[in-house]
Amino acid sequence: MSPDRRSVVITGIGPVTASGIGVDALSAGLRSRRSPVADVTRFDATPFRSHMAAEIPDFEPEAYMEAKQARRLDRFVQFSLAGARLAMEDASLDADAVDPTRAAIEMGSAMGGIAHAEDELRKYLSGGARTIDPRLATTTFAGAASCHVAIQYGFTGPNTTNAMSCAAGAIAIGNAARLIRDGVADVAIAGGVDAPLAPVCYGAFSSIRAMSTRNDDPAASCRPFDKDRDGFVMGEGACIFVLEAFEHARARGARMYAEVRGYGTNNDAYHMAAPRPDGSRAAACILAAIESAGLAPSDVGHVNAHGSSTALNDSTETKAIRAALGEHAARVPVTGTKPYHGHALGASGAMEAAIACLTMRDGWIPPTLNLLEPGVGCDLDYVTGAGRDGTYRAVLSNSFGFGGINAVLLLTAPSELH
């Protein structure tokens, strides 16, 4: 595509995931072909039907911010700042060299600082009003993520955090790309973050029977598209990107992972927890992303699926991919990567977009872990085993969330810009 279109490129990636923190660690985690899902350690999960999660046990916030600052912040904001710093460093972007009025922040978080809020409620119930942390109001609202990132770098352009469930991270990236494409910004920090591993939040999802109960084998519990899938596995973390206008990135000699070439979002208007059964709105969202990129369904080389490992989602997503891509769907390799990072709610779409970038960079699709036999209605070319080598120049990254929210990114290799 000609750079005259105000193309938007990804120049930095900052993953904070259960499979690895930083691009190299995430890449190594994918290559290990092992799921980090294990028993919950952050609280006692035994009262619930589900007992496992994709935790990040080795996250040390002091490695990314001052210890005093870390103590003041909720874990989800710590993740945000860590991911932003990793992305800025990965992009070799000096904040002082950026026009702050032309730099935007776009974040997504489904649950915000819910873990901190739960902690403070327990203190209140045991000790009364005097025990409430005065910082609670400014540390738990979802917008704290983008606001702290803006303050950290002094970026004064548009600043938004959306809370659109499991599609929030993908929506943030799509919105940031639009700001740059429309000429409102030259640079954006964008992505998703969630730290939902707190007993009430976790218990709520367990109570609606949305999560896997394969407690005797946690590493095998997240199994997208498999006939024995029985629910998602909750995760935590963040993945933050540096997006730039192509001209801005080229002028400073930046390395480019991918172009954010297409984006679509809509909603099912059907149910708060179940997808529209025929997958028609998800299919329309996929087509919107393809059409906004100026491409055809036959141009899609790979799909990083939402693949939540739930009975309804995986078969419905398969319908949507088939409806959107037509006959080409049978030839497109599909992978679900949540076994590597869990369903980190608002962060998942951003994590999966990062993996899509690595797929194009490395020419390798990570396998869908734990997929032994596809379930009924799951009949696409799912990548399993050792993964798959190849050249992938256009990749779809699907994100479908509670409330019927759909968001799809279409990423293309940077070579397509020339």
* Per-residue pLDDT reduced to its tens digit, 199-209: 999 999 999 99
Neighbour tally for 80: CB within 10 Å: 33
Q: Is the CB of residue 214 less than 8 Å from the CB of residue 233?
A: no
Read out DSSP for 148-162? HHHHHHT--S-EEEE
Q: How far is CA 235 from each of CA 170, 231, 345, rounded to the nearest angstrom?
A: 17, 13, 7
What is the spatial distance between Cα 33 and Cα 352, in angstroms, rounded to a whole number? 15
Q: Does residue 143 carry a pLDDT above 70?
A: yes
Q: Does residue 68 carry a pLDDT above 50?
A: yes
- What is the mean pLDDT of the segment spanning 287-304? 98
Quick one: pLDDT band at residue 142, thresholds 50, 70, 90? very high
Query: What is the model's pLDDT at position 2?
Result: 42
Quick one: pLDDT band at residue 116, thresholds 50, 70, 90? very high
236-289 per-position pLDDT tens digit? 999 999 999 999 999 999 999 999 999 999 999 999 999 999 999 999 999 999
Tell me the angle at which helices 348-362 and 168-181 cross, rounded to the nearest 10 degrees.
70
What is the percent of the chain with per-residue pLDDT over 70, rounded to a whole number? 99
Joined together, the tokens standing for residue 399 give 């994100």
Quick one: pLDDT band at residue 4, thresholds 50, 70, 90? low
Name the catalytic one among 116, 147, 166, 239: 166
Query: What is the model's pLDDT at position 311?
Result: 95
- What is the mean pLDDT of the segment spanning 161-166? 97
What is the spatial distance between Cα 24 and Cα 11, in angstroms, rounded to a whole number? 15
Query: What is the model's pLDDT at position 46?
Result: 96
Task: Pick left, alpha or beta for residue 209 (phi over 0 → left; psi -120 to 50 → alpha; otherwise beta).
Answer: left
Q: Is the CB of residue 173 less than 8 Å from the CB of residue 356?
A: no
What is the spatial distance between Cα 191 and Cα 239, in angstroms, rounded to a whole number? 6
Quick one: pLDDT band at residue 418, thresholds 50, 70, 90? low
Cα torsion 144, 145, 147, 149: sign: positive
What are the helix (H) ranges across 33-112?
A: 67-72, 75-90
Task: Pick left, alpha or beta for residue 400 (phi over 0 → left; psi -120 to 50 → alpha; otherwise beta).
Answer: beta
Name the catalytic one among 51, 148, 248, 306: 306
What are the helix (H) ranges across 280-382?
A: 280-292, 311-325, 338-341, 348-362
Question: CA angle, corner 228, sides to 227 and 232, nearest 5?
Answer: 110
Our separate counts of H helices and E strands in the chain read: 13, 16
Q: Does residue 1 carry a pLDDT above 50?
A: no
Q: What is the chain's alpha carbon radius of gyration, rounded to the nearest angstrom?
A: 20
147 is catalytic: no
What is the spatial distance between Cα 289 and Cα 325, in angstroms, rounded to a whole number? 12
pTM: 0.97
Q: Does residue 416 carry a pLDDT above 80?
A: no
Q: Does residue 87 carry a pLDDT above 50?
A: yes
343 is catalytic: yes
Q: Does residue 181 carry a pLDDT above 70?
A: yes
Query: What is the model's pLDDT at position 415?
Result: 81
Neighbour tally for 26: CB within 10 Å: 25
- Mean of pLDDT over the chain: 96
Joined together, the tokens standing for residue 51 give 């007992």
Q: Does residue 5 carry a pLDDT above 90?
A: no
What is the spatial distance between Cα 408 and Cα 20, in angstroms, rounded to a whole number? 24
What is the spatial distance between Cα 241 and Cα 190, in angstroms, rounded to a whole number? 5
Domains of the chain: residue spans and CATH: 3-251 (3.40.47.10), 262-417 (3.40.47.10)
Query: What is the model's pLDDT at position 277?
Result: 97
Q: Is 246 exposed, middle or buried (0-12, 13-18, 19+ CB in 10 A)?
A: buried
What is the spatial distance between Cα 408 and Cα 356, in angstroms, rounded to a whole number? 12
**Maximum CA pair distance of the chain?**
64
Task: Pick left, alpha or beta for residue 225 (phi over 0 → left; psi -120 to 50 → alpha; otherwise beta).
Answer: left
- What is the mean pLDDT of the segment spanning 347-351? 98
- What is the mean pLDDT of the segment spanning 36-59? 97
Name the catalytic one among 51, 248, 302, 343: 343
- What is the mean pLDDT of the segment spanning 346-364? 98
Tell me the angle at which helices 75-90 and 114-127 cross, rounded to the nearest 10 degrees.
160
What are the helix (H) ranges across 154-213?
A: 168-181, 199-207
What is the spatial distance between Cα 104 and Cα 119, in angstroms, rounded to a whole number? 32
Q: Is the CB of residue 190 less than 8 Å from the CB of residue 172?
A: yes
Quick one: pLDDT band at residue 117, thresholds 50, 70, 90? very high
Query: What is the model's pLDDT at position 49?
Result: 97
